[in-house]
Amino acid sequence: EIVLTQSPGTLSLSPGERATLSCRASQSVSSNYLAWYQQKPGQAPRFIIYGASSRATGIPDRFSGRGSGTDFTLTISRLEPEDFAVYYCQQYGRTPLTFGGGTKVEIK
């Protein structure tokens, strides 16, 4: 199975700052089938990015994804108060599908 390692575990930032989250895969992710999700406490995850760099419907353009092969990044250009949450990457290029362990973006 493909293991996804997210870093850092926690990111402490202020509103307005830029957030850069990393997701590294143990093997190349087929067709760059890499997604990102946002999850807030007590809520289901929210679909943000697919295909490594395409924004899901309704996602603001301050969210961007990039990367290929084994190294992927989610960037939030200017953090809004509602962006503080846990973010997960997921590869869906090979079964079993797998998630990373998550990065918590917290208010500094």
Partner 1 sequence: QVYLVESGGGVVQPGTSLRLSCAASGFTFTSYAMHWVRQAPGKGLEWVAVISHDGRDKYYGDSVKGRFTISRDKFTKTVSLQMRSLRVEDTAVYYCGRAPWPFFDWLSPVDYWGQGSLVTVGS
CB of 22 to partner 1, least distance (A): 16
Query: CA 68 to CA 8: how far, in whole Å?
Result: 19
Query: By the 8 A CB rule, do 65 and 19 touch?
Result: no
CB of 34 to partner 1, least distance (A): 9
Residues 34-93 that bind partner 1 (CB under 8 A): 35, 37, 39, 44-47, 50, 56-57, 88, 90, 92-93
- Under the binding rule (CB under 8 A), the answer on residue 96 touching partner 1 is yes
- Under the binding rule (CB under 8 A), the answer on residue 2 touching partner 1 is no
Q: How many CB atoms lie within 10 A of CB 14?
A: 8
Q: In the complex, which residues of this chain contact partner 1 (CB under 8 A)?
A: 1, 30, 33, 35, 37, 39, 44-47, 50, 56-57, 88, 90, 92-102
